[in-house]
Amino acid sequence: MSDDSWEKFAQADPYWAVLTDPKYKGEIGLRERKEFFDSGEDHIKRVTAAFERHFGRKIRRTDTALDFGSGVGRLLLPMAKKCRHTIGVDVSATMRRIARDNARNMNISNVECISDLQIENLEKGALDWVNSYIVFQHIRTKIGYNIINKLLNKVSKNGVVSIHVTLFKDQRVANYMTNYMNYFSYDEDGVRNVFS
């Protein structure tokens, strides 16, 4: 999907463009807005719990995090509550503006929103946590690999990464393959299987 398409979605239905549930289409009410952001809080709680459980890594208030494909801030804002500085990356200027507005409305002041072209400007090792969820399935594979490579080069030595990618479109293949998937950790001792 093109960057222009995402900008059009952002201008027409920004919340629905993030979560394609009919209740987020058009103007959304306070209840729907709360549900939308609560779903982001819940997701981030699951991700950070997995970091602790599998890698012994807690997200700290001193950490710097980046959410790639941050949209209106559904995951970015809960991440910001856990970190010192949080960067939202989105191709859509409208999404970035709405995310900044949402941060202001929630009294969250440690959020910066940048375009994908600005990733290059980040220092190597500057990020303690890189996150992306339900984004890469919309990006052509070759471009996605390049983006992931750029993001990984920005992760600190003891940093963590939570990136969602679509592996299979056929449920039978997915069921077969996930029986053989593992979590791996890379540290000063090398690569190790988290589950033995």
Distance of alpha carbon 176 from alpha carbon 49, whole angstroms: 26
pLDDT at 172: 65
- pLDDT tens across the length of the chain (196 residues): 666 788 888 898 999 999 889 999 988 999 999 999 999 999 999 999 999 998 999 999 999 999 999 999 999 999 999 999 999 999 999 999 999 999 999 999 999 999 988 888 999 989 999 999 988 888 888 888 889 999 999 999 999 999 888 766 666 655 655 555 555 555 565 555 555 4
**Would you give the DSSP letter of residue 53?**
I
Domain coordinates in residue numbering, the chain: 3-169
Query: Tokens 């979560």 — which residue?
Result: 19
**Residue 118 contacts by C-beta under 8 Å, 6 or more apart in sequence?**
89
CATH class, range 3-169: alpha beta
Burial of 173 (0-12, 13-18, 19+ CB in 10 A): exposed
Q: Token pair for residue 121?
A: 């400007």
